[in-house]
Amino acid sequence: MNFGVIVFPGSNCDHDCIHVLSDVLGQKAIPVWHKESTLDGLDAIILPGGFSYGDYLRTGAIARFSPVMGAVKQFADEGGMVLGICNGFQILLEAGLLPGAMLRNRSLSFICRDVHVRVENAATPFTGRCRPGQVLKIPIAHADGNYYTDDVMLSQMKAAAQVVFRYCTADGQVTPEANPNGSLDHIAGVRNAAGNVLGMMPHPERSAEAVLGNDDGKLIFLSMLDALQKAKLKAVLT
């Protein structure tokens, strides 16, 4: 499969994503500079972590107006799979491709450590390899990961199973202590209503190899691969 990893000025997890997709999973993964205006020939798009545009104004606020974002929106509108990780998630929020917004972490600190998240919806193209309720250990690294949305949107999102990951303890309990940044309802990752766009604060590309001591994050990429292969097969058969 062909993965495109968008590179904004200030992205710094693009190479990690490309490494996991190509060297660990044996797929084709190419960097896509933010000035590009098409995504031709790509099966899925990843917006990686980093500090696009120095996080000026708000995280993701300026990157969302990069030329490539028009093509990303069109790709998503046509049902293409889009994964935003950390800063990529923040960009998707600012772009309106996902609901909600990010506030500064409750502690005001930049937090870089392993956290546990519970898979709240395993029936997405990004989590198909996970069991419902499975606990994944994946690192976070952010200062603005305190997810917020209003009550009306939150209840809509819950009703549509759009909350995909919640921060939890190692044994899967959703407790205030397990919430690293103050996120509303312990939200660590959400999907859009159509289900083809996912944003998550934890970095699966940093925990996708056993040699690094943790490969829980690999499940996200393997799930995407399964979903893409299934879709290709379906397209061939019909």
Partner 1 sequence: MKAKIHVTLKQGILDPQGKAIEHALDTLGFKAASNVRVGKYMELDLAEQDKAKAEAEVKAMCEKLLANTIIEEYRFELSN
For the chain, strand residue ranges (E) read 2-7, 28-33, 44-47, 81-85, 101-103, 111-119, 135-142, 146-148, 163-168, 187-191, 197-200
Candidate list 150, 170, 173, 229; residue touching partner 1; CB under 8 A: 150
86 classed as catalytic: yes
* Element spanning 68, H or E: helix 68-77
Contact segment (CB under 8 A) with partner 1 among 18-26, 57-65, 131-139, 195-203 equals: 57-65
H/E element holding 154?
A: helix 151-159
Region binding partner 1 by CB under 8 A among candidate stretches 13-21, 75-83, 102-110, 220-228: 102-110
Residue 24 or 101 having the CB closest to partner 1: 101
The answer to whether residues 220 and 126 touch, using CB atoms and an 8 Å cutoff, is yes
| Residue with smaller CB distance to partner 1, 69 or 224 | 69
Compose the 172-191 pattern: x for residues touching partner 1 by CB under 8 A, - for all others. Answer: ----------x---------
Segment contacting partner 1 (CB under 8 A): 4-12, 95-103, 126-134, 195-203? 95-103
Q: Are the beta carbons of 137 and 114 closer than 8 angstroms?
A: yes
Alpha-carbon span 18 to 31, nearest angstrom? 8
Q: Would you say 64 or 118 has its CB closer to partner 1?
A: 64
131 binds partner 1 (CB under 8 A): no
Q: Which of 34, 142, 186, 203 is catalytic?
A: 203
Q: Are the CB atoms for 67 and 33 separated by under 8 Å?
A: no
CB of 47 to partner 1, least distance (A): 18
Q: Judged by CB under 8 A, which of 100, 189, 204, 217 binds partner 1? A: 100
**For partner 1, which residue of 15, 19, 28, 58 counts as binding (CB under 8 A)?**
58
Q: Would you list the DSSP string of 81-99?
A: EEEEETHHHHHHHHTTSSS
CB closer to partner 1, 101 vs 174:
101
Catalytic (active site) residue 203? yes
Residue of 86, 116, 130, 186 with catalytic role:
86
Decide: 220 and 21 in contact? Cβ < 8 Å.
Answer: no
Is 148 a residue that touches partner 1 (CB under 8 A)?
yes
Instruction: Give the distance from CA 197 to its chain's centroid.
Output: 8
In the set 120, 130, 186, 205, the catalytic residue is 205
Please say whether the beta carbons of 202 and 117 come within 8 A.
yes
Q: Is the separation of the CB atoms in 189 and 157 below 8 Å? A: no
The residues annotated with a catalytic role in the active site are: 86, 203, 205
Interface positions with partner 1 (CB under 8 A): 57-58, 61-62, 65, 94, 100-101, 103-108, 146, 148-150, 182
